[in-house]
Amino acid sequence: MEPLFLLLHSPSMGPSSWHSVAEHLTAAGFRVRVPSLLHIGAGDPPFWPRVADAVRDDLRQVPADHPVTLVAHSNAGLFLPVVRAALDRPVTGSVFVDAPLPARVGPTPVAPPELLEFLSPLAVNGRLPRWTDWWDEADVAPMFSDPVVRRTVTEEQPSLPLSYYEQHIPVPDGWDDHPCSYLLFGPPYDGCAAEARDRGWRVAHLPGAHLHQIVDPAGTARHLIDLAADS
């Protein structure tokens, strides 16, 4: 039985950041789910249980014995351990796409101190601007090749609370009881790819900017299928 691909978007973005890849995977004959995490910044922390709940609730529409390959982009990768722990179903693989890795031991901070130092002055009444508004236009423009797609992705982004980036996410023991792999787009995640290789994970490289799955969904889908085949 072919695994279902569950594509987890960064909570800083929205589901549309995966939609084109989902279309290519579906065309290749795979079942795909793209749960929305747009609501997780509402209310008080902790936020990570809402991510695990969103995935578990979304998969209720899928037979319990259907194998799943988890795919996480950017800081969604930090949630894969708690997502895996919340699922009472076969997980045949996890793919981290241009993503930070969970800590080997102990909880993982969502943001390192230097990022929190950058973000704190941006917050207004505890809320941050949309992710693409953190950066200069010269940095953002190369991430998009189509103005319509850019508008869709940009307008969908949530305004997350600063406390989202201040949280620490648990890393349950045994979460990696299945093959894990890494798909690198480019810096600054090359260090994460090197660490993934040190952990014995398979690593693939599809050169591009951080949102390259939007620019090259076909290439991204091909790499995901290839990495999942080793699971």
Domains, in order of start, for the chain: 4-229 (3.40.50.1820)
What does the pLDDT read at residue 100? Answer: 98
DSSP-derived pairing of the beta strands 108-109 and 91-97? unpaired
Question: 214 to each of 57, 65, 147, how far by Cα in Å?
Answer: 26, 31, 12
* Beta strand segments in the chain, E: 4-8, 32-33, 68-73, 91-97, 108-109, 168-169, 180-184, 202-205
Question: What is this structure's pTM?
Answer: 0.95
Confidence at 110, pLDDT banded by 50, 70, 90: very high
Bridge partners of 32, per DSSP, are 5
pLDDT band at 176 (very low <50, low <70, confident <90, very high): very high
pLDDT above 80: residue 231: no
How many residues belong to the chain?
231
As a whole number, mean pLDDT of residues 194-218 equals 97
Report pLDDT digits (tens) over 4-63: 999 999 999 999 999 999 999 999 999 999 999 999 999 899 999 999 999 999 999 999
pLDDT in tens, 119-157: 999 999 999 999 999 989 988 888 888 899 999 999 999
155: CB partners within 8 A, 6+ apart: none
